[in-house]
Amino acid sequence: MTESSAAVLIVGEVATDRSLRPVSLELVTAGRRLAAAGAPLTALLMGDGLGDAAREFAAAGVDRLLVVDDPVLAATTPEAAATAVAQAIAATSAGVVLIPGTTAGRDYAPRLAARLGVGLAADATDFALDDGVLVATRPVLGGRVQSAVHLLARPALATVRAASFPKAEATGAGPEPEPLAVEFGPNDRRTSVLETAPKEAGPANLEAAEVVIGGGRGLKEPGNFRLVEELAATLGGAVGATRAVVDAGWRPHHEQIGQTGRTVAPRLYLAVGVSGAVQHNVGMQGSDYVVAINRDPDAPIFKLAAFGVVGD
Amino acid sequence: MNVVVLVKQVPDMNAVRIDRASGKLLLGGQQVVSSYDAHAVEEALRLKERLGGEVTVVTVGPAAAKDALSRALAMGADRALLVETPDANALDTLALARLLADHLRAIEFDLILAGQTADDYESGQVGAQVAEVLDLPLVSSAVELQTEDGRIVVRRDTEDGYQTVSVPLPAVVLASTGLNEPRYPSLKGIMAAKKKPLDRVAAEPEEAVARLSWDEPVVPERGAAGVVVQDVPPAEAARQLVAWLREQKLI
Ligand SMILES: Cc1cc2nc3c(=O)[nH]c(=O)nc-3n(C[C@H](O)[C@H](O)[C@H](O)COP(=O)(O)OP(=O)(O)OC[C@H]3O[C@@H](n4cnc5c(N)ncnc54)[C@H](O)[C@@H]3O)c2cc1C
Ligand SMILES: Nc1ncnc2c1ncn2[C@@H]1O[C@H](COP(=O)(O)O)[C@@H](O)[C@H]1O
């Protein structure tokens, strides 16, 4: 990486309660690696009332922190967020832009790519630079295989899957947040967020359990969850589920594990008939030991498993 | 309420296998409607049943992709458009979105429904990029839709809980699996579909621009998998599993 090394912009995200999402700190690590040759690493944070989150982000080891603090961004709506990030790209001449692979990030990043007429790699899990070209690795076909995407146009955009990089540690106070003035147009205001209702919490034992048995569509019918429940009772554990079975109405929503469900990290996670989609894995990959039972030897869940049974 | 649904035909993911010897993907199974898109079609039909109007399904793909459209027609859609190109996956998502947008401009619609993500390459970009190219609002991860004087109110599944948003129509909404349970085509529906209009036009995508390129997918290393028990009777597999759990002091 010589003169082709590009300024890197990473975009953080705040949750509805204004806390900094952990993926923001993971992007610091990813961004720092790509800016290794001495290119500046600039961070951007968008929201309404960013004080604490901005301080935490600044302290994570970035060279600059731009903030867009505006009521329009009280929720990260796709059009307003694309407008703000486009402005930050212009202000920093960024050649590489990393965006969280969250629900919001996966909405505004494609809009931004279309607006700028550039390529975007979705849900990347790793990066390399090849002669100054950003190459992103992303899982496809249900996570069974990986594709390398070469982002030939600048700025190169990627959304980054949560839990792909370690979180950057706090380094001290960090740079003073710099407000970035963004002009929002009528289209940036046409999405109104009426309400965000936290999901029903369910029994607290799921996060605390030493053993979690996660059941998926491979269980074939809701009745077969009885076996999972019995096993959970025998092992003193709790029952979890994939979104596929929750959406099918087999299990209550509060048992869902994953990106839009709960995050567990038990001693033992026993996955039964679970394919191991990335959105499920982010909710359980912190488990000490994963055991998987699946009839497909190529199911991605086996990549996490210390013990696997191929069969049904 | 006129609704356009974007559907993609994909290989059946349950039938995808990896040949370890050659490291090649075996996409042997049937071609099907991508799973999220089936939920989008179902929701369009429910809106039509409540509010009237027409449902048009559109796909970009090879001649054989008309099977995906026929299925949607058999479920109850009114008309279909196949924008024919030998391999839709050879286009990047922005080229595909611009191509779709060119054809969507000629259709009268109040709402575009698409899937959250396609089952095969999972980019989750085409719907959002159609929204950007057509300058429409976008709502993703939809699990419930309601219309309300020229607006659509959508309940979405997000990291922070269920978010309810309202946007003016026309708009693009991306279906999640929690939205509904797609119906199976009835025999009557299948017969009726044969008489419904299914238009075909040749795709004229923009000149290839070097925004991005991608390599053939590769099979990752097996990874962490420690012990794998395969080809043994269930009782024996269970015995080995219990023995291993004891050894690790997990039970
Ligand atoms: C924005 C977004 C957010 C999402 N959030 C979440 C989330 O929070 N949590 C979540 O779980 N998912 C989430 N998903 C969905 C996720 O992508 C997957 O679709 C889902 O996790 C799949 O569930 P599954 O493993 O039960 O089903 P499938 O993927 O259908 O897998 C079933 C598995 O069972 C195996 N099997 C079949 N029959 C048998 C048998 N007889 N014996 C043994 N094994 C068998 C099959 O080989 C297969 O691997 C999200 C998706 C999106 C796009
Ligand atoms: N070739 C296509 N033809 C029509 N619609 C498509 C096509 N590819 C993708 N889409 C739509 O865009 C959604 C997201 O696709 P993707 O960005 O490829 O994950 C799909 O669920 C479809 O609704």
Cβ pair A15:B120 closer than 8 A: no
pTM: 0.95
Q: Which residues of A touch B131 (CB under 8 A)?
A: 78, 111
Chain A interface includes B228 (CB < 8 A): yes
- Please give the pLDDT value at position B49: 98
ipTM at complex level: 0.95
- Which is more confident, A303 or B79? B79
How many Cα neighbours within 13 Å face the side chain of A59? 12
Rounded-to-integer distance, Cα A28 and Cα B22, Å: 38
* Per-residue pLDDT reduced to its tens digit, A143-197: 889 999 999 999 999 999 999 999 999 998 899 999 999 999 999 999 999 999 9
Scan residues 31-60 of A and list those with Cβ closer than 8 Å to B.
Answer: none
- Which is more confident, A108 or A143? A108
Q: Which residues of A touch B34 (CB under 8 A)?
A: none
- Please give the pLDDT value at position A3: 41
Sign of torsion over alpha carbons A192, B118, B107, A113: positive
Coil vs helix vs strand at A69: strand
Q: Which residues of A touch B16 (CB under 8 A)?
A: 141-142, 144, 298
Number of residues that this document lists for chain B: 251
Where is A295: in which H helix or E strand? none
Chain A interface includes B24 (CB < 8 A): no
- Please give the pLDDT value at position A1: 37
- Please give the pLDDT value at position B27: 84
Which residue in B124, B163, B228 is closest to A196 by CB distance?
A: B163
Chain A interface includes B205 (CB < 8 A): no
DSSP-derived secondary structure for B151-203: EEEEEEEETTEEEEEEEESSEEEEEPGGG--PPPPPHHHHHHHTTS-EEEEE-
| The pairing of beta strand B171-175 with beta strand B111-115 | parallel
- Please give the pLDDT value at position A202: 74
* Per-residue pLDDT reduced to its tens digit, A184-235: 999 999 999 999 998 877 777 788 999 999 999 999 999 999 999 999 999 8
Rounded-to-integer distance, Cα B156 and Cα B65, Å: 30
Rounded to the nearest angstrom, the distance between the alpha carbon of B114 and the centre of ligand 2 is 7
Q: Which residues of B touch A233 (CB under 8 A)?
A: none
Identify the DSSP state of A255: G
Mutation target among A123, A131, A144, A213 for the B interface, most CBs of B within 10 A: A144
| Residue of the CA atom closest to atom 22 of ligand 1 | A244
- Please give the pLDDT value at position A121: 98
pLDDT in tens, chain B (251 residues): 999 999 999 999 988 888 878 878 888 889 999 999 999 999 999 999 999 999 999 999 999 999 999 999 999 999 999 999 999 999 999 999 999 999 999 999 999 999 999 999 999 999 999 999 999 999 999 999 999 999 999 999 999 999 999 999 999 999 999 999 999 999 999 999 999 999 999 998 777 678 999 998 888 776 655 788 999 998 999 999 999 999 999 88
Question: CB pairs under 8 A, 24+ apart, for B221-226?
Answer: B222/A302, B222/A303, B223/A302, B223/A303, B223/A304, B224/A303, B224/A304, B224/A305, B224/A306, B225/A302, B225/A303, B225/A305, B225/A306, B225/A308, B226/A305, B226/A306, B226/A307, B226/A308
Q: Which residues of A touch B166 (CB under 8 A)?
A: 191-192, 194
Chain A residue whose CA is closest to B11: A141
Query: How does residue A70 score in pLDDT terms, banded at 50, 70 and 90?
Result: very high
Mean pLDDT of all residues in chain A? 94
Which residue in A110, A111, A302 is closest to B225 by CB distance?
A: A302
Check whether A101 has a pLDDT greater than 70: yes
Cβ pair A195:B167 closer than 8 A: no
Cβ pair A310:B224 closer than 8 A: no
- Please give the pLDDT value at position B225: 59
| Residue of the CA atom closest to atom 19 of ligand 1 | A244
- Please give the pLDDT value at position A9: 98
- Please give the pLDDT value at position B14: 87
| Residue of the CA atom closest to atom 34 of ligand 1 | A218
Where is A57: in which H helix or E strand? helix A51-58
CB contacts < 8 A (A, B):
240
Rounded-to-integer distance, Cα A275 and Cα A283, Å: 14
Rounded-to-integer distance, Cα A81 and Cα A15, Å: 14
| Residue of the CA atom closest to atom 8 of ligand 2 | B8
Cβ pair A140:B244 closer than 8 A: no
Mutation pick for ligand 2 pocket among B3, B4, B7, B8 (CB with most ligand atoms within 8 Å) = B8
Rounded-to-integer distance, Cα A158 and Cα A135, Å: 10
